[in-house]
Structure 1
């Protein structure tokens, strides 16, 4: 019985207990983080990220040169935080999604700076950062050539210029979320003209009020690897898209599609 109980109620290691103690008393230890060994910094950073404790003021104290993934989705940060990421040049993934409410503190200036200091970015989540403009997406596309996942859903200021830049420069783009943006059929056409059309597997363009059936047909015709296509709440899309989609699903290529979602007006 004793052996069974010990296996169920695992005792945290001294390392785990120590890092949690630092988090619980962060205001007392914050300055000493500068001199903390890299492996301990990484553990502290993960806990701070989970608890939304990262700020513009403390971010640079817990960054390490070999950091590859950074989750800021639960923390309240601004462009000032992004300006400090020059020390993590080999960052591959950055999560700046805003889930609870729209975020206004991240602007194009911060993303442009990020794209220049972290050129190896492949996965960037920027959902509901409502002050981002096309300049931010153009910079990411031009400066981060390995970009393969981009979520800018709810970034309501984005237009066809963003899709044009992605079509021209983001050859590896596989997943794109442009929910509730201002894109039109012309932007989808530009995206489909780019090399990424041959590798694009997922696109969510729900809530894009300026799109029509042409956008759906372009994607179905131009993107042979497309597996997930979402276009709910697009009032300009009609029954014709449903018919085109059903024809696609009956084809050999269409049989490989995993998820589709739409609303017909």
Structure 2
């Protein structure tokens, strides 16, 4: 009993030591580890340093389901590794750090150093069990990615697309086809009232509980009214820092609250 009490913390300390020391992160040595040890090591490593595609490959396995690679410097090589496996339930690929630009190169060349949309879509093609996907900050994501999600990840419930600056009204219309969607962030995207109207009249209108459209520069009171006219299950709506929103939106919100007060938990907006 005494030995057992020390076993768990000793394992954790050992894994933390390996994660911190690049000299110990040798793919050939990591590959034979049992899956539960790989999972623990992977969670530790992403907190301390960037992972090479080779190390990531050595730590993933056929039952990998919950993967958090937030803010790592992902490349197409990393995504090629992810695409080998298809049992993901949750993928956090948020890229919220400011991108690293190389001096002496053009904007186009810098964009090419970011993970490509085609590589991301390859990962999503086989992710039929995926229910949570975080892609905040992906400057390469367009409507093509949304179409891939709809066609190959139909059970998505949580989708974070904040600051995906190439998304627009067409993207919003495609996203609305997700019939199980419960939480959606379009923070800082280029959707307009047309996109809000699409969401309000979509399949997702009956399931969305949380919607974040803050910092969207082109939405107006008319879009908020069209959106609220269709959403049936909304609990949380955030649309702060939208400069074209005025006090007129409060009227639409008051009406929605009278009809759906039992559902609503949080409403946040800024009036200009």
Same fold (TM over 0.5): yes
The question of 1:71 aligning with 2:80 is answered: no
C-alpha distance in 1 between matches for 2:54 and 2:73:
11
Aligned to 1:20: 16
Aligned to 1:53: 50
The answer to whether the 8 Å contact 1:54/1:72 transfers is: no
Number of residues of Structure 1 aligned to a counterpart in Structure 2:
256
4+ runs deviating over 3 angstroms: 10-14
Aligned to 1:254: 261
C-alpha distance in 1 between matches for 2:7 and 2:238:
46
The answer to whether the 8 Å contact 2:157/2:183 transfers is: yes
Aligned to 2:151: 142
C-alpha distance in 1 between matches for 2:10 and 2:270:
54
Aligned to 1:122: 131
The answer to whether the 8 Å contact 1:152/1:177 transfers is: yes
Which sections of structure 1, spanning at least 5 residues, go unmatched?
Answer: 1-9
Which sections of structure 2, spanning at least 5 residues, go unmatched?
Answer: 1-5, 101-110
C-alpha distance in 2 between matches for 1:176 and 1:151:
6
Aligned to 1:175: 183
Offset at 1:244?
1.3
SS in 2 for 1:200: coil
SS in 2 for 1:111: helix
SS in 1 for 2:267: strand
Q: How does 1:89-128 map to 2 (within 5 A)?
A: 89-102=86-99, 105-128=114-137
C-alpha distance in 1 between matches for 2:74 and 2:182:
28
The answer to whether the 8 Å contact 1:63/1:87 transfers is: no
Query: Over aligned residue pairs, what C-alpha RMSD do you find?
Result: 2.2
Aligned to 1:35: 32
The answer to whether the 8 Å contact 1:102/1:128 transfers is: no
SS in 2 for 1:256: coil
Q: 1:158 to 1:226 in 2, by over 3 A?
A: same
Report the TM-score when normalising by structure 1.
0.88
